[in-house]
Amino acid sequence: MRLIPAIDIIQGQCVRLSKGDFNTKKVYNLNPLEVAKSFEDNGIKHLHLVDLDGAKSQHIVNYKILESICTKTNLKVDFGGGLKSDDDLRIAFESGAHQITGGSIAVKQPEIFNAWLQDYGSDKIILGADCKDQKIATSGWLETSALNVISFIKNYEEKGISYVICTDISKDGMLEGTSNELYEKIINETNVKLIASGGVSNIDDLVQLKALGCEGAIIGKAIYEGKITLKQLQVLC
């Protein structure tokens, strides 16, 4: 299972939110590149980079930080947040993104997302299936749709999607454990490569996600709050 630390960006700073609420913002580092380098120095090979300013603005904002991390480390970065147009996507890939994640656009403008999938291939486009009470949420989690998360994933699996990041918003940033029942259901009912996100609080959570069959696990606040050390991740890498 791939271990994928997360860096969320607001105004150029490395932050974390709780349940996606911008009012809960906590700044952990003023230099995201410094954080990325520390991950790489401890054997990490992948990074989940989220442009929260972009998610709120509905277009890519922090691509210079993406470019800096991609040119000054060897991390394979998946990038999301505010990717709404072909131009946004072009900027993300030109800035060095290895993969991009599309969530809201897959709900609101599926024809664009499907075109990206066809043009770039399933190895480059990740479906963001962020949900609350198993209903898909959009627009930086500010809106909840009527779409069931399993049905949503199945629909895009039929269209060729391979990678899915699923975040249970109620768990995100809470350090209270992961949505294992939901992940098990997704793994049993689909053949996607599932990347679990939200709620990782300790090494045992990662062991359980691996046992479930998750392809990857995104780790955020647990690292920044010292619940999981980079040395511990080194052992699992």
Query: Which positions are annotated as active-site residues?
Result: 8, 130
Cα separation, 171 vs 137, whole angstroms: 14
In the structure encoding, which two tokens stand for residue 3, read together? 């271990």
The number of residues making up the chain comes to 237
Among the residues of 95-220, which ranges form H helices?
A: 104-108, 110-120, 149-158, 180-189, 203-212
124, 99 contact by CB (below 8 A): yes
The amino acid at 233: L
CA distances from 21 to 58, 80, 82, 170, 172 (A): 17, 17, 16, 11, 10
